[in-house]
Amino acid sequence: MEHAGRLAALYRDLHAHPELSFAEHRTAGIAARHAEAAGWTVTRGVGRTGVVAELRNGPGPTVLLRADMDALPVRERTGLEYASTVTATDPDGVEVPVMHACGHDVHVTCLIGAVEELTRQRDRWSGTVLAVFQPAEERGGGARAMIDDGLYDRFPVPDVVLGQHVSPMPAGMAGCHPGPAFAAADVLRVRMFGRGGHGSRPETTVDPVVMAAATVMRLQTVVAREVAAADTAVVTVGMLRAGSKENVIPDEAELGISVRSFTEPVRARVLEAVHRIVRAEAAAAGAPKEPEITTDRGFPVVVNDPDAAARTVAALRGALGAELVIDPGPVSGSEDVGHLATAAGAPLCYWLLGGADPEVFARATADGTVDRDLPSNHSPHFAPVVEPTLTTGVRTLTTAAREWLD
């Protein structure tokens, strides 16, 4: 790929300048300028900070290629020369470090590369391509914001939605699972109320820290004891906030809980268990009032259309080699890309893109230490290798688009 060096420099720049959800102004501007330079018609500000680039190239199908742009409130610890040192203010008004810990900088770079490749190859395909640079995937609202802002009223409705997500698989590989491929995610915010006081006199208080700690531990039994072995669910408490000083027992504690599931019956059962445990632990501690539980379904299950997946995978195997395109099985992570397909009534094919150093992956596999030695998405150590990740990512997007356009 003749522009590989330029894309690598672009990727390093994006990685060093991450932006939080709905604040992707710099990233969106870069994507827009590259698409305009390639001759595409560009619309900015779709769904607040989203960008839609359109190339009409004669009669034929409409293909939507999607990349998300936002980063996470994570302090980077990769040690890379181009590591992020950015901080920003989050929606709660808190100053936080920011990092591309989920690889959205890879996604943006690869889609820009695919825009340029499809422009060069336009004498070999016919139809319309929409390159959608989406905001706020991490908050689960970016795809919906673009749809609510008239995405399919202002632009052609696609015949297929395509995209990819970088992962700790070996770089140079891709993976696609037909059917339910990424889990649904529910986000719960819990406020547990106690009665504060002096740390030296806990008997005069109702300690919400102990209440919250007991709740965290009890929640670990939901999957272990209430979900069948043949089903899949994840319950993670990723945030616990309480107090501001070691000798002051606070009045309340706050939990942030993430629930992942693949089917509605399992989802309902897990959510009921979480609500029951939170209320019961508060009652057991003698809380002065019921806890407040707010639930937001941030992500639906991502379902790859079986026919669309089979067609796309066949094309990817032709481009990369059959041994380099695998079925990774369902992924417990979540994505909002499914909204784009559902709203359009179009089939979806969304695949994993390898980003790990193949030699490191091979050693870790041989040693049985993949989970320990290969940082996953959302880790402060997550750092996809630049090549062949970018070259492969551009090829997969271009190949998939051409399969449907041809």
Catalytic residue, chosen from 68, 117, 137, 186, is 137
Helix, strand counts (H, E) of the chain: 12, 18
In the residue annotation, 153 being an active-site residue is answered as: no
Q: Any known ligand binding at 138?
A: yes
Catalytic residue, chosen from 19, 24, 54, 70, is 70
Angstrom CA distances, 151 to 57, 154, 392, stand at 20, 6, 29
- 47 conformational bin, left if phi > 0, alpha if psi -120 to 50, beta if neither: left
Q: Any known ligand binding at 292?
A: no
Q: Any known ligand binding at 102?
A: yes
C-alpha torsion 361→367→369→374, nearest 10: -20
Sequence-separated contacts (24+) of 309-315 with Cβ below 8 Å:
309/176, 309/177, 309/178, 309/349, 310/178, 311/349, 311/403, 311/404, 312/162, 312/176, 312/349, 312/351, 312/400, 312/403, 312/404, 313/176, 313/349, 313/351, 314/403, 315/399, 315/400, 315/402, 315/403
The tokens describing 196, both together, are: 């504060």
The tokens describing 306, both together, are: 């079986």
H/E segment holding residue 148: helix 142-148
Using the Cα atoms of residue 75, residue 332, residue 214 and residue 297 in order, give the sign of their dihedral.
positive
Q: Any known ligand binding at 165?
A: yes
Count the alpha carbons within 13 Å of 75 in the hemisphere toward its beta carbon.
2
In the residue annotation, 70 being an active-site residue is answered as: yes
- The binding site for Mn(2+) comprises 102, 104, 138, 165, 378
List the catalytic residues.
Answer: 70, 137
- The binding site comprises 102, 104, 138, 165, 378
